[in-house]
């Protein structure tokens, strides 16, 4: 079984919903490649904003646009959106399906270094969803640094991260994506933004796709806007897992919330 995935590495206009939605509309509607899944960066409609009370009201507009993209491409569209109200807000990954149904995951690990924990509430559950026979676990940015939260208990085939990860820590981003692929015997995709944010922090993108052996299999350039469509092979993944069954030797554990 194969899964075709489209990675969109783009600059984001700081806290400007209209400009960002217009940008992604142009990118997605002008792309003629067939795909099953389109992945956008973390907080793709505003950048990594600490003003949730200002942007949470845009939730329906943004998810409505995601549905428009999903219908147009007959594909799932995912990325993170600010949700919540009355002082309780979340950095929420939305998994929008072409029929209008959707699933969500609230970011578990909030980036306290930037004060995210002071403006958002952390999530308490993970999400594993299915698409074309694939089991997929989507996570958000800083979650990447916490391997227990990402750990594969033989329940997913693709691990993906949407991010606003700065260039100054790009080596960690690339290293950890590769490590998550190897240790979890899974495909891993990281989708990051490029450009400067409103705090003058530069993002080099470095979006990437790794196979379960830790081989990078994409051609996404660093530091540039880019759209890439790549096809993953589940039969090859299962064959490798059978040949090298390291998962059966893994430690069992329970996460306490």
180 burial type by CB count under 10 A (0-12 exposed, 13-18 middle, 19+ buried): buried
Tens of pLDDT, residues 196-219: 999 999 999 999 999 999 999 999
141 in active site: yes
The average pLDDT across 224-238 equals 98
The domain spans of the chain are 2-249
Please tell me the distance from the alpha carbon of residue 61 to that of residue 218, in angstroms, as a whole number.
32
| pTM of the predicted model over 0.85 | yes
Q: Residue 257 above 80 pLDDT?
A: no
**pLDDT for residue 78:** 99
Arithmetic mean of pLDDT over the chain: 98
CA 152/CA 222 separation, integer angstroms: 28
* pLDDT > 90? residue 221: yes
Scanning the structure block, which residue is given the tokens 């530091």? 223
Q: What integer pLDDT is reported at residue 251 of this predicted model? A: 87
Catalytic residue among 65, 73, 107, 137: 107
Pairing of strands 158-163, 134-140: parallel
CB 205 within 8 A of CB 226: yes
Residue 75 confidence (pLDDT) = 99
Q: What percent of the chain has pLDDT over 90?
A: 95
Contact, 163 vs 190, CB < 8 A? yes
Per-residue pLDDT tens digits for 95-142: 999 999 999 999 999 999 999 999 999 999 999 999 999 999 999 999
Q: What is the pLDDT of residue 16?
A: 99
Active-site residue, selected from the candidate residues 15, 65, 73, 141: 141
> Any bridge partners for residue 210, and if so which?
188, 216
pLDDT band at 47 (very low <50, low <70, confident <90, very high): very high
Secondary structure of the chain in HEC code, one letter for each residue = CEEEEEEEECECCCCCHHHHHHHHHHHHHHCCCCCCEEECCCCCCCCCCCCHHHHHHHHHHHHHHHHHHHHHHCCEEEEEEEEEECCEEEEEEEEECCCCCEEEEECCCCCHHHCHHHHCCCCCCCCCEEECCEEEEEEEHHHHHCHHHHCCCCCCCEEEEEECCCHHHHHHHHHHHHHHHHHHCCEEEEEECEEECCCCCEEECCCEEECCCCCECCCCCCCCCEEEEEEEEHHHHHHHHHHCCHHHHCCCCCCCC
State pLDDT tens for residues 139-187. Answer: 999 999 999 999 999 899 999 999 999 999 999 999 999 999 999 999 9
In this predicted structure, what is the pLDDT of residue 252?
86
d(CA 117, CA 121): 7
Is the model's pLDDT at 87 over the cut of 80?
A: yes
Does the pLDDT at position 74 exceed 80? yes
Respond yes or no: is residue 238 known to be catalytic. Answer: no
Taking the C-alpha atoms of residue 207 and residue 92, their distance in angstroms, rounded to an integer, is: 20
Is residue 122 part of the annotated active site? The answer reads no
Q: How confident is the model at residue 255 (pLDDT cuts 50, 70, 90)?
A: confident
Choosing from 15, 42, 116, 228, the catalytic residue is 42
Cα–Cα distance, 193 to 48 (Å, whole number): 10
Would you state the pLDDT for residue 253?
A: 82
CATH 3.40.50.2000 fits 2-249, yes or no: no
């Amino acid at each position: 079984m194969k899964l075709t995935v489209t990675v969109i590495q783009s600059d984001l206009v700081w806290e400007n919903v209209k400009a960002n939605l217009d940008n992604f509309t142009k990118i997605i509607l002008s792309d003629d490649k067939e795909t099953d899944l389109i992945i956008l960066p973390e907080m793709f409609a505003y950048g990594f904003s600490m003003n949730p009370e200002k942007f949470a009201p845009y939730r329906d507009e943004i998810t409505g646009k995601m549905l428009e993209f999903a219908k147009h491409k007959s594909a799932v569209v995912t990325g993170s959106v600010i949700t919540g109200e009355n002082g309780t807000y979340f950095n929420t990954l939305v998994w929008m399906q072409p029929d209008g149904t959707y699933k969500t995951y609230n970011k578990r690990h909030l980036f306290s270094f930037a004060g995210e924990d002071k403006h958002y509430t952390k999530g308490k559950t993970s999400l594993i969803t299915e698409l074309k026979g694939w089991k997929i676990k989507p996570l958000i940015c800083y979650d990447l640094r916490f391997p227990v939260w990402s750990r594969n208990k033989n329940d997913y085939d693709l691990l993906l991260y949407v991010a606003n990860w700065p260039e100054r820590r790009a080596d960690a981003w690339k290293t950890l994506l590769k490590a998550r692929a190897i240790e979890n015997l899974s495909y891993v995709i990281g989708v990051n933004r490029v450009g400067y944010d409103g705090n003058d922090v530069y993002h080099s993108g470095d979006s990437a796709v790794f196979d379960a052996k830790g081989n990078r299999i994409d051609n996404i350039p660093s530091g540039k806007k880019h759209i890439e469509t790549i096809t993953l092979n589940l039969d090859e993944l299962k064959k490798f897992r059978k040949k090298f069954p390291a998962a059966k030797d893994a430690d069992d554990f329970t996460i306490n919330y």
